[in-house]
Structure 1
Amino acid sequence: MKKPLLILSLLALPAVAEDTRQLAELKPAAQETLRKEMLDNLIALNSIVSLLAANQVKEAGEVAEKELGRSAMGKNATLPFDARPGPQMPREMHQLAISGHIAATDFARVAASGDRDKALAELPTLLGTCVACHASYRIR
């Protein structure tokens, strides 16, 4: 008796909305590089938030710069072209990525002061660049 009820319940759910984000057509090797990089970025963001929660503000800034900031730009330059996502991205997507690196460096500069409130105030700008890109683009 419970199976038909479950099926009826599922039929009542709204259809999944169409993904309207722009498709960034990257070669498979570049897709793999980008997916790994995004996972690494998520791990770095988690470390930054955890460090801020522990009031280790300067350390959060160091992670931001090393893993996400301008210091992290160009880390794929030595890969074969097919594995490099940056040059294959739509221009606007690449600009968002660069803006993310700059926002991370700006956050790191503020965090270097050790002022937690100022660092927290800067964090939404850093996260906002991630959200803007992920809300606008997809790779599959």
Structure 2
Amino acid sequence: METGAMSMFRVLSACVMLSLPAVSPSQAQQSTGHQHSMTDHAKHMAASQADARQLVSFPEPLRSHTLTNMRDHLLALGEIQEALARSQFDQAVDIAEQRLGMSSLKLHGAHEVAQFMPKGMQDAGTAMHRSASQFATITKDASVTGDLKPALAALAKVNQTCVACHAAYRLH
């Protein structure tokens, strides 16, 4: 009896499959949001191969130093988010000011690197450091008021300055 039931199941499955409309691979990809976003991502990746960002040449020791600093900036942003999630406002303020804010310029060797940057890149870097210091000030207020929204908005501004610079420039 089970053999007959399995046989019947296979026949019904085949009938259902034959009655479905034919779908091309591209239609199948567009049928789900995830697949559609993957298609959009693939289009974005293809477009980015013709990189229109301004190429900026640094001497090798400064290039490596700058890339290391940028990776630390990303790490600092993550640590700030973790501190905010734990309501450790003072820690978030310290990370922002010491590693991203105006107080961090000497640590990053900003003066040495700036001479190799086009004016727009210098301005973008300054905007990032200023916005990080502004975030620190706003977050000090949040530690008193308990209102995290202004701090999160200020942190988003820091991130946006990073994205704007990386969208316009690339290191060689």
TM-score range, shorter chain: 0.7 to 0.9
Instruction: Identify the match of residue 110 of structure 1 among 128, 135, 138.
Output: 138
The 5 Å alignment of 1:86-125 reads 86-113=114-141, 114=143, 115-125=147-157
Amino acid at match of 1:21: R
- Rounded to whole Å, the distance in 1 between the matches of 2:108 and 2:80 is 23
Answer yes or no: is the 8 Å Cα contact 2:69–2:108 preserved in 1.
no
| Structure 2: runs of 5 or more not aligned | 1-41
**Higher-RCO chain (CA-CA 8 Å, sequence separation at least 6):** 1
Instruction: Indicate whether 1:57 and 2:89 are aligned.
Output: yes
Amino acid at match of 1:112: K
More helix by share: 2
Give the equivalent residue in structure 1 for 2:106: 74
- Rounded to whole Å, the distance in 2 between the matches of 1:64 and 1:103 is 10
Give the equivalent residue in structure 1 for 2:169: 137
Change over 3 Å in CA distance of 1:50–1:76 after alignment to 2: closer
Instruction: Identify the match of residue 159 of structure 2 among 118, 127, 131.
Output: 127
Question: How far 1:75 sits from its partner (Å)?
Answer: 2.4
Question: How far 1:117 sits from its partner (Å)?
Answer: 2.0
Give the alignment's TM-score, normalised by structure 1: 0.80
Instruction: Identify the match of residue 44 of structure 1 among 70, 73, 76.
Output: 76
- Rounded to whole Å, the distance in 2 between the matches of 1:58 and 1:118 is 15
Q: Which has the larger radius of gyration?
A: 2
Give the equivalent residue in structure 1 for 2:36: none
Answer yes or no: is the 8 Å Cα contact 1:57–1:116 preserved in 2.
no
Count the aligned residue pairs: 124
Give the alignment's TM-score, normalised by structure 2: 0.66
Answer yes or no: is the 8 Å Cα contact 1:64–1:104 preserved in 2.
yes
Question: How big is the alpha-carbon RMSD for the aligned residues of Structure 1 and Structure 2?
Answer: 2.1
**Which stretch has the larger CA shift, 100-109 or 50-59?**
50-59
